[in-house]
Structures are given as structure tokens and as C-alpha cells.
Amino acid sequence: MSGTAWGALGVNTAVAAATAGAVLLATSIIGVRRGLHRVVDIVWGLAFAAVAAVTWLLSAGHGDDGRRLLVAAATSLWGLRLSVHIARRSRGHGEDPRYTALLDKAPGNRTRYALRTVYLGQAALVWLISLPVQAASYSSVPLDALAYGGLAVWATGLAFEAVGDHQLARFKADPANRGRIMDRGLWAWTRHPNYFGDSLVWWGLYLLACTAWQPALAVLVSPVLMTLLLTVGSGKRLLERHMAHRPGYAAYAARTSGFLPLPPRRTSRGTPERTG
């Protein structure tokens, strides 16, 4: 048996969908009034934290308290850190070119198109990706070795994401680095330490939901979808398309792993190539 309260979990999925929808609808009002749809990126992490908080409240009496608290805290910490980071990074900037390009293709009313494709689309993703958070909270199985392994994977992912973001922010803050490619620290081992970390976070949360084969199979879509979004969806693929024509980027890409952290490829002289 999985020890999962499936009936109560079913109710939670409906409430979680309503929560994600409400958060993103409220965000759409702000985005339309300000004419700045990139605000949705700031709220992305907050929406997950909201779903985690609602799930923690609703799952009381249905799941193991230690697992409930751990998954809610881990999700909220990840979401809040991400939102604060993106808010700081976005300060003083205009619209994200991705949203400008998307809305320029709107077949009719831009506001309705933005609501449908940007806000409600992201609400659906929040609901789907958060399924392990919801399932883990409704399991009566106490924390075990697999759960602590999931916590270790989550912590490693959060560290990669936070350290990578911090290193890049410091690099960009130095005027001497203007026009140069960041190829230091974690960025020497992977071109996307933040995306790799993000993927690990969700594989770790997935492991917290793996209390039996039924929930493990039911929520596998979450980490798989997040990894695909980060690698071939709106993450790595679009960013690298934008960076492709930057001086030095081709050489950086040739020596640096695209996703999984690996030692930099070496030149024939035995030393890593560097940009700038």
C-alpha cells in the first residue's frame, strides 16, 4: 500500500489548481496595468510557495507531519528565493523580449492573448509541476532513507541554483566584465548551473513523494516536465539562441558542458581555454 489518502489528495489538487489560478490571475492584473508582463517571472516561485502552503494546511490529519512540513518548507524556500532573486535582477529593466515577441504574434486582443498564453499557461504548469509536493503531503509513510536522499538532492540543487545566480550577479556588477562571457566558478563546469540546480530541486521533491510505486508513477511527469522546460523549452534553448552571437560565446560553449556539470574541455596544450 502507498499510505496515500487518495480521496483527500484529489480534493487538494482541485484547490491547488484554484490557488495557482488565483495567484496568476492577480498577477495578470498587475502586468496589464503596468504594461510589463515579465512580472509573471517574479511570481512563478511565489505561486509554488502558495500551493505548498495551502497543501500543508489541507493535508493536516491525512499525511505524516514530518513529511508534510519538510516538503512545504523545501518548496517555499526554493520559491521565495527564486522570486526575490528575479525581482532584484529585473529592477530597472523593461519588458522581457520573450514576451514582446510572443504578444506581437497575438491574433486578436493582446490582453486576452496574454492572459491565456502567459498567465493561465503558467498557472497550469505550476499545478502540474507541484504534484509531488501535493502527493508527498498526503502520504502517511514516515520520513525514510529515500526521503532524506531526496532532501539531499533538493539541497544540492538549491545550492547550485543560488551559488550560480550569485556568481553571475557579481560578475555582471563589475564594469570590467561588460561584454564578456561568464566562465568562472560553477559556470566553468556548466553553461547553466542555475537551470541544472532547478532541475535537481524538483527531482529531489519528487523523491519525497516516492513512498510507493503508485504515487511515484502518478507524479513522475513533474520532474520530467521541469527538466524538459529548462533544457529544450523556454530555458536553455532560448537563452543560448540569444547568446549565440555574443563574442566569445562559441568558444565558451565548445569547452563547457551544456547542462550536467563536467570538467571544462581542455586544449591540446592541456589547459582550459578562457574567454577575454
What own/partner pairs with CB < 8 Å and gap ≥ 24 does 21-28 have? 21/120, 21/123, 23/47, 23/50, 23/123, 23/126, 24/119, 24/120, 24/122, 24/123, 24/126, 25/115, 25/119, 25/120, 25/123, 27/119, 28/114, 28/115, 28/118, 28/119
CA–CA distance, 193 with 204 (Å, rounded to integer): 16
Average pLDDT, the chain: 92
pLDDT at 66: 98
In terms of Cβ atoms closer than 10 Å to its own Cβ (0-12, 13-18, 19+), residue 223 is buried
Judge if pTM exceeds 0.95: no
What per-residue confidence (pLDDT) applies to 93?
86
Query: What whole-number percentage of the chain has pLDDT above 70?
Result: 96
Q: Is the dihedral of CA 154, 155, 158, 159 positive or negative?
A: negative
Please check the confidence at residue 269 and state whether its pLDDT lies above 70: no
- Give residue-wise pLDDT tens across range 140-197: 999 999 999 999 999 999 999 999 999 999 999 999 999 899 999 999 999 999 999 9
Look at residue 97 in the predicted model and tell me its pLDDT: 80
